[in-house]
Structure 1
Amino acid sequence: MADSVINLLVIDDDDINIFIIRKIVEKTGYKVNMVSRSNGQLAVEYLTEIADNRDVFPQLMLVDINMPILNGWEFLEAYEQLNLPQKSDMYMLSSSVYENDIEKAKSYKTIKGFISKPLTIERLSELLRLVTP
């Protein structure tokens, strides 16, 4: 596994989920700089601030659907309008079991897949391996 650091942005309003993902990140063995934002609006503001900084721009984003202010779908709409110079591998990470949410995720060009919670060490390791520079 590479010595480079992988930047991960988790957009989720549940502190427990954030805590669990941090613990899973530690167990993957990858060097990960994890940043979290509790809603889509804060994530848009963060990404706009760091848009030109390759050192901190996330290679991987995990986006929850149900959040206050800007939910996951609204975040995706706003993100696609930003036309940022850098791109990330983005996955919906949700406890939703609705087939229409899974299908809706497929309709976004920026979404690489839909992951049902809880996130596992194996699944996160696989995602990190895919984005390792």
Structure 2
Amino acid sequence: MLDTKINLLVIDDDDINIFIIKKIVEKTGYAINMVSKNNGQQAIDYLNDVISANQPLPHLILIDINMPVMNGWEFVEAYQALGIEQRVDLYILSSSVYENDIEKTKSYSTVKGFISKPLSIERLKELIKELEY
């Protein structure tokens, strides 16, 4: 069961995409605590801090593929190495049109799916409803 507030982690190096997602979050009507990180390494560091401080993990993580420092695939590998047992829904959120990226998403048991940018209000609401099991 979800807490009253949904924790969302967005990993994307494009400030415009982050701004758009923030606006979409505001329009869902859900109480969402959104944290954004500009690359996978910042996100891994953030998750390590959350775990160390015994704070609630994100319920939902949206991951861009192409980013500097640590890309989306490298983030997923590092995330899996954290050994998090709590349910966290991970989705690749990308503008990639390459079929191999969509197929690669399926090779990770921790990744629930691939979403093409831009994220819509309706799609975010669907993801939130899935969190409610």
In the TM superposition, structure 1's runs of 4+ consecutive aligned residues that sit over 4 Å from their partners are: 52-55
Segment of structure 1 superposing worse, 49-58 or 81-90: 49-58
Identify the residue that residue 50 of structure 1 maps to in structure 2: 50
Mapping 1:55-74, distance limit 5 Å: 56-74=56-74
Unpaired stretches in structure 1, ≥5 consecutive residues? none
**Deviation by residue 1:28-55 (Cα, 9 ceiling, x = unmatched):** 1000000000000000010011126675
TM-score in terms of structure 2 length: 0.93
* Root-mean-square deviation over aligned CA pairs: 1.7
Q: 3-state DSSP class of the match of 1:130?
A: helix
User: Structure 1 pair 128/33, CA: closer, same or farther in 2 (3 Å)?
Assistant: same
**Deviation by residue 1:61-100 (Cα, 9 ceiling, x = unmatched):** 0000000000000001111111124331000000000000
Letter paired with 2:105:
A
Shift of 1:3: 7.6
Which whole-Å CA distance do the structure 1 matches of 2:123 and 2:95 have between them? 15
1:22 aligns with 2:22: yes
TM-score in terms of structure 1 length: 0.93
Unpaired stretches in structure 2, ≥5 consecutive residues? none
User: Across the two proteins, how many residue pairs are aligned to each other?
Assistant: 132
Shift of 1:128: 1.0
